[in-house]
Structure 1
Amino acid sequence: MNLLKSAAAVSAMTMLSRITGLIRETITARLLGAGAESDAFFIAFRIPNLLRRLFAEGAFSQAFIPILSQTNATQGKSAAVDLARRVSSLLFIVLLLIVVAGVLGGSWVVMGMASGLAQGSEQFELTVLLTQWMFPYILLISMVALASGLLNTFRSFALPAFAPVLLNISFIAGALLLAPYFDQAVKAFAVAVMVGGVLQVAVLWYGLARTDCLINPFAGFGAIKAAWGDEQVRRVLKNMVPATLAVSVAQISLIINTNIASHLEQGSVSWISYGDRLMEFPTALLGVALGTVLLPSLSAAATRSHEEYSRLMDWGLRLTVVLVLPAAVGMGLFSDALVALLFHYGRFDANDVAMTSQAVIAYSLGLAGLVLVKILAPGFYAKQDIRTPVKIGIVVVLATQLMNLFTVPWLGHAGLPLSISAGAVLNATVLYWGLRKRGLYTPSSGWGLYLIKVSVAATAMGFALWLMNQQFDWLSMASTPLVRVAAVLGVIGVCGVLYFAVLAALGLNPKRLIRKPAV
């Protein structure tokens, strides 16, 4: 299998997803700004959005794919599809019950998510309504995750990576076409979320049919009983619970932080959410794309040889470092321009730009950790080692929340993403040393010199970026948005060329960096 080609396909689809996602957030900022209405939406969407990250990009994949890959390798495709069918039947009924409970107990969900909202207030009631409308998205996105795992196992990566684009397109269309028909535009967004979920399920089920992997989760209670008695299904479910904590530490902290933010200045939830969306762009392009492609390969290599496993992991880490470091520098030094470019329209004013920029800077400090976790955690799950990441995850969650005790009084809303960043760096560091200590990963030679060269190139790029950023007043360019777009893209282009030029001058050939590992 050509890992680079697969990673590029996933990255291309993920880039399209993140680009449409940024367009979606731009429209959201323009129509809602950062206030009570936008806070209500972001709080209501936090639970289904969290489940999207956990299932589609995290815990479910880590628990399901290694066992599915093992079944496919030892028993064949038919057995793997049967396993997916049994898992889907059980998962469907469990999630259906969760959805019913969430809809009926919407007010309790909101109180748990955002205790800072005054019960009975207009904002609280709006948040409850939006939560009830969007809660069924959990069921839809879980079926999407299962179908994606099955397709990825059979080396079909592009369609699962494309599916999130449909949610963004639905969101954009809903905001532009449905919003005028509602008394509050945010209600149109909630409808669009559900339509997008249905579209994702339909497209992926079409993909399953094309690859002769079609499964039916509505198989009845007899099939559910049989699934519960299946040893492999129970292994998936057993691994899934701790994997949720281990892989998604940052997301769990984000939920807790939402509650804390609801007690801060109005708009805090929105500022953090907009910053999170911007941070997701490089995180998804690098971490999710490489993690998605590496996990099936690592799972297969783990059964063959330690050397092959280490080469795959080493390649993923080197490629991640050379791409994530300039991204982190760029986000931190260019945050005001990026936020202004994406969100400074309509009801999103200059103060919102400044507050969101603070969140982006805080996130940039931990971008490397957030991405590397998505590469390092699959290293354990490929070996079906669950306990180690769980222990690390528990420590990181506790450390992150302890840090909030100091960062929030000091920095307000920006203290929340700063704690997440510090927790992500801690998580990645301990995961790395865990792989080393257990002998699961042996780094190749030359890492020290490699890091020095990448750091020199990133520093040169950062200095040039800082100089160019001083030449523009990004807020005053709101009246000429196309000029602002051209200026931002021009600065990014110059910095990108400079970064890779310095790398080449130092002897790091881009072709060598992305070359697939020898097996």
Structure 2
Amino acid sequence: MAEATSTETGGSVVRNSAVMAVGTIVSRLTGFGRNAVIGAAIGGLAVGNAYSTAQFFPQMIYELLLGGILTSVLVPLLVRARKTDADHGEAYTQRFITLIVVLLAVATALVVACAPLLAKALTKENTGLVTELSYLMLPMIFFYGVAAVLAAVLNTRGHFAAPMWAPILNNFVIIATGVLFLVFFGATAPTPDNMTAPMVLLLGGGTLAGIVVQVLGLLPALRGVGFTMKWRFDFRQLQLGHIGRLSAWMFCYVAVSQVSVVAVLRILNEASARDKDAAGPFIYNNAYLLMMMAHGIVAVSIITALMPRMSAAAAEGRNAEVSMYLSQGIRLSGVILLPATGAYVVFGGTLASLLFDYGNFTASQAAATGLVTAMAGLTLMPFAVSQLQTFVFYALPDTKTPALLNIPAVAMRVGIYLLTFAILPAAAVAQGLMVGNGVSYVVAALLAAVLLRRRLGPLGMRRISVSLVKLGVAAAAGALAGWAVVWLLPNGLSGSDKLNAIIDLVIGGIVLGAVYLGVAYALRAKEVTDVVSLVKGKLGR
């Protein structure tokens, strides 16, 4: 009976993950369309770097103020309220949304006033342009927060589709912004010196409009799950002291993490100042988004599906079940992320050329993106494992341990960043930063595994290790085979034009996938056979 329950639960996780994965795939694809159009409009160097730096501000400050707290504190508390409150957490949720909206409004107003200071903190180059864009883009902090809290409410009510599909609306708005920029201002390549007020207004205002539309896209889903918003200002009913204690450690975690974000932006801007053609924030961000595509499709979908279950199991003291979910999440993630790592390493340059080599984003900038993408691919699995472990702590709920673990991980990351900047040429700095990310994720995962075992008991590490080794061997074999076949094609991996790039990716991807599956089957990697069987069952239906 227990086995049947486990199988049913696993199938449910896979099904929910699949629903979110489909939405995430479309979201990521339109996200690449967004970045490709913006890159074609403004290029990947000075103006692109200014745009990326300004765009990082609202993301960074939102995470610092609220982002991690929403994820780690809100979802477990909403789950508990739905289980224990007579109204299934309706009033509790309304109070929480009211509090967050008030806090976000005040914080956003203060941050917008500080836009010039933020620009000077992160770059010495083109601070005027960064400041102008920031005035338009910093209000995104408010809408990021509203979108996140509405998504959390939907997830705790078993609705996962809308939060995965709403960002697509955002992407379409920004794609339209880039197209309009090309239509009206595309005659000459933009530089910080020729960026006029209408150009800045369209670029910054269009980016802000995207997140506003994303929030609006979530409202019908809220009505669909029966949630009605009512403003409630009796915040004492939220037990703010308890929330504050949990949030304090989460704030520490996020604040430490933002140290590495600031370091990345500052170092990349310094590298760009040292060498005008070096990969800066815009190119680094494109490569990071490529890496996060696979992570978002797989790991984020799995985490989102597992988090309510882990929270419920932890609330009832079922530690063995929490460990089971962690093991399941890591193994399921490895099925896709390990071959994806091979694909990024082998085909990173070809993929970057196909996606970004348009308009003012040149072939050399696309090639630089490919090199950074190859390094980013190596961080995929360590990052996913570290994130899964962190969310297990949040489900317990424990925000203190991840915050303390994050300190040595970020310290190592920033140390490698500084070493990279000191010893590498400017053209290779962005690649070195990605390596620093990967090393820090491995260290964080190892430390977290030790502490989780003390907390939960056996984590099934032998089963996890055996599965990941088998999947890793299969992925390496697939990547080598894919590279060899493409190398034998007339144009090799040159990606000299879009047709060749597509041919390389299609043929190489098919070979990589076929060899990966063949070796995985030969090694009896159970996770691959389970996923394939599930897909066959769905297709059969």
Question: TM-score of the superposition, structure 2-length normalised?
Answer: 0.86
The 1:436/1:7 distance shift into structure 2, 3 A limit, reads same
The 1:512/1:69 distance shift into structure 2, 3 A limit, reads same
> AA paired with 2:167?
P
Q: Does 1:295 align with 2:307?
A: yes
The 1:473/1:486 distance shift into structure 2, 3 A limit, reads closer
User: What is the 5 A alignment of 1:99-498?
Assistant: 99-112=108-121, 114-117=122-125, 123-177=126-180, 179-181=182-184, 183=196, 187-216=201-230, 219=231, 223-224=232-233, 226-227=234-235, 229-246=236-253, 252-265=259-272, 266=276, 267-304=279-316, 305-411=318-424, 412-439=429-456, 442-443=459-460, 446-470=463-487, 471=489, 472=491, 477-478=496-497, 481-498=498-515
Q: 2:82 aligns with which of 72, 75, 100?
A: 72
Counterpart Cα distance in 2 of 1:242 and 1:36: 37
Where 2:337 maps in the other structure, the secondary structure is helix
Where 1:13 maps in the other structure, the secondary structure is helix
- Residue 33 of structure 1 corresponds to 43
Contact 2:345 2:377 in 1 (8 A): yes
Cα displacement (A) at 1:14: 0.9
Contact 2:123 2:266 in 1 (8 A): yes
Q: Does 1:88 align with 2:58?
A: no
The 1:452/1:105 distance shift into structure 2, 3 A limit, reads closer
Contact 1:56 1:141 in 2 (8 A): no
Cα displacement (A) at 1:417: 2.0
Cα displacement (A) at 1:201: 1.5
* Cα deviations by residue, 1:90-139 (Å, 9 ceiling, x for unpaired): 22122112211222221011112x2332xxxxx22111111110111110
Counterpart Cα distance in 1 of 2:281 and 2:454: 39
Gaps of 5+ in 1: 118-122
Question: TM-score of the superposition, structure 1-length normalised?
Answer: 0.89
Contact 2:253 2:403 in 1 (8 A): yes
Cα displacement (A) at 1:247: 6.8
Contact 2:67 2:145 in 1 (8 A): no
Counterpart Cα distance in 2 of 1:88 and 1:277: 29
Cα displacement (A) at 1:213: 1.2
Counterpart Cα distance in 1 of 2:159 and 2:533: 21
Cα displacement (A) at 1:55: 8.8
Cα displacement (A) at 1:177: 3.0
Q: Select between 497-506 and 164-173 the one with higher mean Cα deviation.
A: 497-506
> AA paired with 2:286?
Y
Counterpart Cα distance in 1 of 2:177 and 2:485: 38
Cα displacement (A) at 1:82: 1.5
Counterpart Cα distance in 1 of 2:283 and 2:228: 42
- Residue 107 of structure 2 corresponds to 98
Where 1:345 maps in the other structure, the secondary structure is coil
Contact 1:67 1:232 in 2 (8 A): no
- Residue 5 of structure 1 corresponds to 15
Q: 1:47 aligns with which of 52, 57, 69?
A: 57
> AA paired with 1:133?
L
> AA paired with 2:505?
V
* Cα deviations by residue, 1:446-495 (Å, 9 ceiling, x for unpaired): 344323321221121121122134343555633xx244224312311221
Cα displacement (A) at 1:12: 0.8
Contact 2:169 2:217 in 1 (8 A): no
Counterpart Cα distance in 1 of 2:162 and 2:28: 15
- Residue 120 of structure 1 corresponds to none
Cα displacement (A) at 1:286: 1.7
- Residue 507 of structure 1 corresponds to 524
The 1:482/1:52 distance shift into structure 2, 3 A limit, reads farther
Contact 2:154 2:160 in 1 (8 A): yes
> AA paired with 1:4?
V
Cα displacement (A) at 1:214: 2.5
The 1:499/1:166 distance shift into structure 2, 3 A limit, reads same
Counterpart Cα distance in 1 of 2:224 and 2:13: 23
**CA RMSD of the aligned region, Å?**
2.5
Cα displacement (A) at 1:29: 2.1
Where 2:430 maps in the other structure, the secondary structure is helix
> AA paired with 2:496?
M
> What percentage of residue pairs aligned between the two structures are identical?
24
Gaps of 5+ in 2: 1-8, 186-195, 535-541
The 1:248/1:341 distance shift into structure 2, 3 A limit, reads farther
Counterpart Cα distance in 2 of 1:146 and 1:90: 11
Counterpart Cα distance in 1 of 2:34 and 2:63: 18
Counterpart Cα distance in 1 of 2:406 and 2:386: 11
